[in-house]
Each structure stands twice: as C-alpha cells, then as structure tokens.
Amino acid sequence: MAENKVFSYPFADIYPLYLQKAQKKGRTKEEVDTVICWLTGYDEPGLARQLDSGADLKAFFENAPRINPASSLIKGVVCGVRVEEIQDPLMQKIRYMDKLIDELAKGKSLEKILRS
C-alpha cells in the first residue's frame, strides 16, 4: 500500500497553520509550542531544529524524543475520524497533534489539553 501523502508534508509548512489557527482564537505561539512539545518530547531548541531542518511529518515523529504516554488519553474527532480508532501509528500521532491544536483553538485550558 502506498504511503499516505500527508507523511511527506514538511512540518515547517504545517506549523504556521497551527499557529494561525490558535492565534486567531487568542492563543499564543508559546501555548502551541507547549502542546507540541508535550506530545513529542521535543524541547524548544529541538522543535526549532525540526522546523529549520525541513523534516517531513514522518521524520518529525520518528525523531521525536518521546511520545507522551498520556497521548492515549486524547479522544475525539479530527477530519471526521475518531483519533482513538486510527490504525496507522504515524497517522494517529499526526491526528493527536491536530486534535491538541483544535482544543487549544477552542479555548480549552492547557491543564485539560495536556491531560494533567
């Protein structure tokens, strides 16, 4: 089966869309970064390196220091698909990230988004 086209999208192309979505709703770049770092285990310099490197989504997640074990608590629908039912592990991580940004844009508190 052919690999999903989404996997080859540069993370640096998607990141500004996340920022735009969150900032339109009054959230900050810092909050977006916090959410992404929580999910992936990147620190700020590591996240910046990924943005500068041109890494695609596949490489971005393959290089992630540690996917947060609490990410399994992320539930809900993104693009009409329940994230907890996605079979492909990489696609599930991508949709987890989408869902976290959606929650941020919808005004959820960081404590709730970070499943603490």
CATH of the domain at 29: 1.10.8.290
Per-residue pLDDT of the chain (116 residues; tens, 9 = 90+): 567 899 999 999 999 999 999 999 999 999 999 999 999 999 999 999 999 999 999 999 999 999 999 999 999 999 899 999 999 999 999 999 999 999 999 999 999 999 98
pTM of the model: 0.94
Calpha distance 83→52 (Å, rounded): 28
Residue 54 in any domain: the answer is yes
Residue 101 in any domain: the answer is yes
Classify the phi-psi angles of 28: left when phi > 0, otherwise alpha if psi is within -120 to 50, otherwise beta: beta
Residue 82 in any domain: the answer is yes
Calpha distance 65→37 (Å, rounded): 10
Calpha distance 72→74 (Å, rounded): 5
Residue 116 in any domain: the answer is no
The count of structural domains within the chain is 1
Contact present, 54 and 10 (Cβ < 8 Å)? yes
Residue 107 in any domain: the answer is yes
Q: What is the pLDDT of residue 79?
A: 86
Give the domain extent around 95.
5-111
Q: Where are the beta strands (DSSP E) in the chain?
A: 77-78, 81-82
Q: What is the pLDDT of residue 77?
A: 94
